[in-house]
Structure 1
Amino acid sequence: MSLLSFASACTYSKGTEPSPCNDPTPVTYAKTISPIFDASCRKCHGADVYVTLGGGNDYSTYEGIKRQSSRLLLGSVQHEAGFAPMPKGEAKLSACDIEHIKTWIEAGQPNN
């Protein structure tokens, strides 16, 4: 019985889970978002290939990403129903990368 009490005491009282990221620094395009897009998005959404591979969505620059609907970006990287899962044909981004993108959008998409 005491083990059950201990296990129930380990839940999050406010219903929120801890962050999958342990990086307390602010999320910016230059420091955080651009490297995520370099690693996971620009092979199809880069300046030289976005027309043929990226559905016309150019994410090669800050302005290109910022022009896109925030809801579309989040829905796609979170693999939500009704959105094309991105990166296409690959595994979902890490929970930390998704959280960084969400945090960046919620912060007003700071550039640097």
Structure 2
Amino acid sequence: MHNFLRYLPTRAFAGAVASLLAFTTACTYSQGPEPSPCNDPGPATYAAVISPIFDANCRACHGAGVYQTLGGGNDYSNYEGIKRQSSRLILGCIQHEAGYNPMPKGGAKISACDIARIKAWIEAGQPNN
């Protein structure tokens, strides 16, 4: 084996070793769960997390001035309106589950992280602040 190594170009060998080390270190994360945009450090609250998601994805149809005509009568313009609605209905719609109207209507499914944030907020009792 020693004679074999003598014939390998030194650069190619060094490059192969460096690549192998980079690959093996990239495959592990020793500090606990791998960081994710969904792993927010604090609990989701309506004001800080949920309201901005509804602003970006829901209130064009479910806002105060349009919910009766565009939003099927579902008013998500404020905390009370969202809390009044069935959590199961909201989750079923935003997760595009069978038997529910996929929301946002005519649009792409909201991000998995936003769905996870809404679900965590509901499971935490829908804190307002």
Which residue is 2:87 aligned to?
A: 70
Greater relative CO, 1 or 2 (CA 8 Å, sep 6+): 1
1:81 and 2:98 matched: yes
1:41 and 2:41 matched: no
Q: State how far apart, in whole Å, the 2-side matches of 1:78 and 1:20 are.
A: 18
Q: Which segment is superposed worse, 59-68 or 19-28? A: 19-28
TM-score w.r.t. structure 1 length?
0.82
Percent identity reads: 79
Q: State how far apart, in whole Å, the 2-side matches of 1:86 and 1:63 are.
A: 20
Q: State how far apart, in whole Å, the 2-side matches of 1:92 and 1:34 are.
A: 17
TM-score w.r.t. structure 2 length?
0.71
Structure 1: runs of 5 or more not aligned: 1-9, 11-17
Q: Which has the larger radius of gyration?
A: 2
Deviation above 2 Å: which 4+ runs of structure 1? Answer: none
Q: Does the CA contact (< 8 Å) of 1:20 and 1:95 recur in 2? A: no
Q: Please report the RMSD computed on the Cα atoms of aligned residues, expressed in angstroms.
A: 1.6
More helix by share: 2
Q: How many residues align?
A: 97
